[in-house]
Chains A and B, each alone.
Chain A
């Protein structure tokens, strides 16, 4: 266990100042710790200082009309347990439940998941389909970025060296679904996952796929063919075909490229049906 200095500032300003003033060595930020400690153990990172966000007032969940703002250090289990999330944004509820186990979700946070930016993140594809915005706080104040711009690749984001993820804003609760395929539900990551949402405001569908390199991504070409309102079986098939053709896939120890391609189409078709008629669809 490589030693590091753990500091727990009590205000965001103090946390940012700590990031700025640490003179040398590798500085990392920790929220729940469920990713950071794995990286430390594996020797992927060698922090000399770790800044814990546990004292910051960001364990929040605020509904404002159709919009939901989630504080970055809120444990995922609290998000899952919110009765409104389950009913109003079913896809988000399903995506949160797809992250690890209950005990893991009592510690893991949304900010941590976005900061890690894993290609197989369950939360990133769903939040892309919900057109979420990430709120960052740094020495020069706050800035908001669309999640699609924030996420770059595995372990790479737009987060500046002295910035923190403060919250995530979902502009509009939407009929939605998140479906995944993996070998073991709570002890593995998805081979492929599909997130889908329908905007009552624009009457349009958004489709995102996770488990793909270099990062989960949106497929506007698939969303467009789904049209307005409940799509026809033909439109669903066409959207699945488009996404299947457009998506870049790899073979690895979890699944072959061919199997993943098959999953994209199958999960997409099921996810559209689940989002359009959640009461008839149980997974």
Chain B
């Protein structure tokens, strides 16, 4: 078992984690060590996108990321997304568009879209953003409102 301490900056706050086993996922460290339950566990196999968080500004699947492998990184979860201008615009757009039904996929969608806009620029074409969200599944199939939220977010940022 690996017990070297690791440090993360989570939603702007420095965190030092001790005694974390080598096989622990970022998802579990966020939910169970730091109490950040906004990041959801869906399939736990990289298919659904519900566990998406940002590591150094870009999206990763926290269920398939070893927490030790992101030692020293900046992590943003749904709880901290409003701290950044792009993330806040995306969050507000999902709210305004009513882009959720049961809400389970929402944190993953918000983080994935925020990551894409960080990476590709806020004026990225819609087809590229839709393409980039293919890894996020909404079991309620509430996609139409999610697509509206993308346009609202881009409008708000411009």
Nearest chain-A residue to B51 (Cβ)? A103
Q: Is the CB of B22 within 8 A of A77?
A: no
- The residues in B between 10 and 41 inclusive whose CB is less than 8 angstroms from any CB of A are 21-25, 28
Q: Is the CB of B61 within 8 A of A104?
A: yes
Q: How far is the CA of A254 from the CA of B44 in the complex (A)?
A: 21
1/0 contact trace for B114-156 toward A, CB 8 Å?
Answer: 0110010000000000001011110000000000000000000
A142 within 8 A of partner (CB): no
A281 within 8 A of partner (CB): no
Nearest chain-A residue to B108 (Cβ)? A103
29 inter-chain pairs at a CB distance below 8 angstroms, sorted by A residue, are: A1-B21, A1-B24, A2-B23, A3-B21, A3-B22, A3-B23, A4-B23, A6-B2, A6-B22, A8-B68, A32-B64, A33-B64, A33-B66, A34-B64, A40-B23, A50-B23, A52-B66, A101-B46, A102-B112, A103-B49, A103-B112, A104-B61, A104-B64, A106-B58, A106-B59, A106-B60, A107-B64, A186-B134, A187-B48
Q: Is the CB of B68 within 8 A of A103?
A: no
Query: Could you list which residues of chain A lie within 8 angstroms of chain B, going by C-beta atoms?
Result: 1-8, 30, 32-34, 37-38, 40-41, 50, 52, 54, 77, 81, 100-104, 106-107, 184-187
B69 within 8 A of partner (CB): yes
User: Using Cβ atoms and an 8 Å threshold, which residues of chain B touch A2?
Assistant: 23
1/0 contact trace for B45-72 toward A, CB 8 Å?
Answer: 1111100100100111101111011000
